[in-house]
Amino acid sequence: QSYAASSYVRSSAASPLPLDAIAPHPTIGREIARRAITLVRGLPHADPVASVAVSFGATKFALAREAPALEEVHVDADPSHVEIEQLLETLTTRGRRPLLLARRAHLHSSQAAAIARIVDRFPDALVVSLCEPFDVALFVGARHVVAAYGDDEVSIGGLADVIFGSSMPTGTLPVSVSS
């Protein structure tokens, strides 16, 4: 009986798409990424005109592409002490709210230290843990923290929909992270 039911479902369902086929809905990846954004605490929204994105270990997919008014600063994944001091000076000079895009800060101690210093100086900063959610445990002093699960084009687009648009983050942390 179970075999008959399974056979019926398989025969009546659409056949799977080939791996190289174009997706039937061109924005499905972005929609999935947007729905995965997880609010850890605080408010997940920012004004691109009044913010500056600090991208640690930046990839080619920039948040500024989604919000052209947004200023963006790229920093090494493991910035030196001198780079951290220059970054703090730049942020102070610009007077905009920092959006901190962390990439595996749990593996890069100087990135974690830089983000902690920025959060201390700019308490309204928004910290975004890209790639994996393990960084959220590092920033207990941050008022605003969200987790995204990638740093590719669709993940950055989904993140932009949440922090610059009217979408609410609906994701949940897939693992338990302790501080």
Cα(14)–Cα(176) distance, integer angstroms: 37
Asked if 45 and 142 count as a contact pair (C-beta separation under 8 A), the reply is no
**pLDDT, block means (10 residues), the chain with 179 residues:** 78 71 77 94 95 88 87 94 96 96 95 96 96 90 95 93 93 79
Overall residue count recorded for the chain in this entry: 179
Task: Give pTM, 2 decimals.
Answer: 0.84
Above pLDDT 90, what percent of the chain? 69
pLDDT of residue 78: 96
- For 104-117, letters b (16+ CB in 10 Å) and e give bbbebebbbbbbbe
Average pLDDT, the chain: 90
pLDDT of residue 61: 65
Cα(58)–Cα(71) distance, integer angstroms: 14
Which tens digits make up the pLDDT trace of 21-45? 776 777 888 899 999 999 999 999 9
* 74, β-bridge pairs: 55
